Amino acid sequence: MSTDTPGSQSSLHRANLERVLRAVRMAGSLTQAEIARGTGLSAATVSNIVRELKESGTVVVADTSSGGRRARSVSLSGDAGIVVGIDFGHTHLRVAVGNLAHRVLAEESAPIDVDVSAAQGFDRAEAMVERLLEQAGFRPEKVIGVGLGVPGPIDVETGALGSTAILPGWTGIAPGRELAERLGMPVHVDNDANLGALGELVWGAGRGLSDLAYIKIASGVGAGLVVNGQIYRGPGGTAGEIGHITLDEAGPVCRCGNRGCLETFVGSRYLLSLLTSTLGADLSLPRVVELAHQGDLGCRRVIADAGRQIGTGV
């Protein structure tokens, strides 16, 4: 029985194969020339690896064009594996099922108050994952991983929520471990703003950058920080908790127990409370933005004031 040694031809080939797969997985689809540029591998090496991956059913290759020239695009096969995304917000639960070719196969969203009970949220998430997998026509064994976003800081060492004052109903909960036991699948958990920053870094406005800040404004306020290409979490995972920066020590009482936090001036509940008396109790934040675009002066003022407060906090 032979084993690969460091620097051997077989270990080098496996490393190159993993580099190609990683590049395609991160981008969703690349031409062979783009893979060569991104990995530093020669065009011939990339061509051989792509042919091997195609024959094994790991990738699919299609004719395309790049810069006016014919090219071949490479993307992961839809059969290479299934992933699940779970997003807990303060007022919603969203679940999506997708494949490694970056295609969403099924998704569902439902209202939920995560401040009340972690168990209730996990029950709903478990049921939604099972329902969506059945809807998409996949067995649970096909899932290679679950990404879980929660609206609170995660302690990197323990996986537990780092600040129970923000989510009092989740005291002592390690959400990743809890869901992994329920689903029987590997679960990777992080703060929702950190995941937003990661999404922008890989696919969005932050592509090609090494440092960025992603500011999330919803029911709560948070930030995801990227330093030297890596998510920066800080002690206890609280680096991005800007929603609880104090702007006014005599301001409104925040759910964290302090006064005048940024969140109390720009969170959706506060903003909507300023407008519901004139625009109705069923007003939503997307509707406020829509009305502002249409010229509503009250909505424009509320958004402008929130922008100034956010700028001060940042």
Delimiting residues of CATH 3.30.420.40 domain(s) in the chain: 78-245
Q: Is the pLDDT of residue 272 over 90?
A: yes
Contact in structure between 161 and 191 (CB atoms under 8 Å):
no
Q: What's the pLDDT band for 71 if we cut at 50, 70, 90? A: confident
Task: Work out the percent of the chain whose per-residue pLDDT is above 70.
Answer: 96
d(CA 81, CA 154): 27
Looking at the chain, which residues constitute the CATH 1.10.10.10 domain(s)? 11-76
Say which residue, 97 or 257, is predicted with more confidence. Answer: 97
For domain 11-76, say whether CATH 1.10.10.10 is its number: yes
On the 0-12 / 13-18 / 19+ scale of CB atoms within 10 A, 91 is middle
Question: In Å, what is the CA distance from 94 to each residue of 31, 57, 120, 233?
Answer: 33, 31, 14, 24
For residue 153, give the 3-state DSSP assignment. Answer: coil
Phi, psi at 5, each rounded to 5°: -110, 150
Residue 292 has which token pair? 């502002």
Are 61 and 49 within 8 A, CB to CB?
no
Dump pLDDT digits (tens) for 173-224: 899 999 999 999 999 999 999 999 999 998 889 988 899 999 998 888 999 9
pLDDT attached to residue 1: 45
Of the listed ranges 103-112, 130-139, 177-186, 228-237, the one predicted with least confidence: 228-237
The pLDDT-based confidence of 168 (bands split at 50, 70, 90) is confident
Class of domain 78-245 as given by CATH: alpha beta
* pLDDT tens-place string over residues 39-58: 999 999 999 999 998 888 88
pLDDT reported for residue 2? 46
What is the 3-state composition of the chain as percent helix, strand, coil, each rounded to the nearest 5? 40, 25, 35
What rounded mean pLDDT belongs to the chain? Answer: 88
The one-letter amino acid code at 274 reads L
Q: In the chain, what is the straight-line distance between the N-terminal and C-terminal CA atoms, in Å?
A: 59
Half-sphere exposure of 198 (CA within 13 A, CB side): 14
